Amino acid sequence: MTLINSKLTKMTPVVTEKSLSAQSQGKYSFWVDFNADKNQIATAFKKIFDVDPIAVNTTIVKGKTKTNWKTRKTIQKPNRKKAIITVSKDAKLEILKLAK
């Protein structure tokens, strides 16, 4: 997976069926640094892709609790922050290129 690194924040694209279908509407999803705010995400996006974002929505995804069945102990995965960046519909970004 490609890691897009800016001096301000790290952005990794979210690769799910739902996020890939939202790209046709101009909404691009990224995993970002947990401490990054919306202004930092917007400036990093503009710096990397040279496209002005219309809106930046962030959400904190709670980490899952998993069980290690060998030791019978629970493991808490860390919380992550997801940013959904909206651009104009005519601006197309080539984040993921599927090989034929």
Confidence at residue 99, expressed as pLDDT on a 0 to 100 scale: 45
pLDDT (mean) for 79-95: 89
Percent of the chain residues topping a pLDDT of 90: 60
pTM: 0.81
Q: In the chain, pLDDT over 70 holds for what percent of residues?
A: 87
Do 45 and 34 form a contact (C-beta atoms < 8 A)?
A: no
DSSP per-residue string spanning 5-45: E-SS-EEEE--SHHHHHHGGGTEEEEEE-TT--HHHHHHHH
Q: Where are the domains of the chain?
A: 4-86
Q: Return the H-helix or E-strand segment holding 48.
A: helix 38-49
pLDDT at 2 over 70: no
The per-residue b/e assignment along 42-80, b for 16 or more CB within 10 angstroms, e otherwise, is bebbeeebebebeebeeeeeeeeeeeeeeeeeeeeeeeb
Q: Is the pLDDT of residue 70 over 70?
A: yes
Question: If you average pLDDT over every residue of the chain, what do you get?
Answer: 87
Res. 76: pLDDT tops 50:
yes
User: 4-86 architecture in CATH?
Assistant: 2-Layer Sandwich (3.30)
Q: Of the candidates 27, 43, 23, 19, which has an alpha carbon nearest to the alpha carbon of residue 87?
A: 27
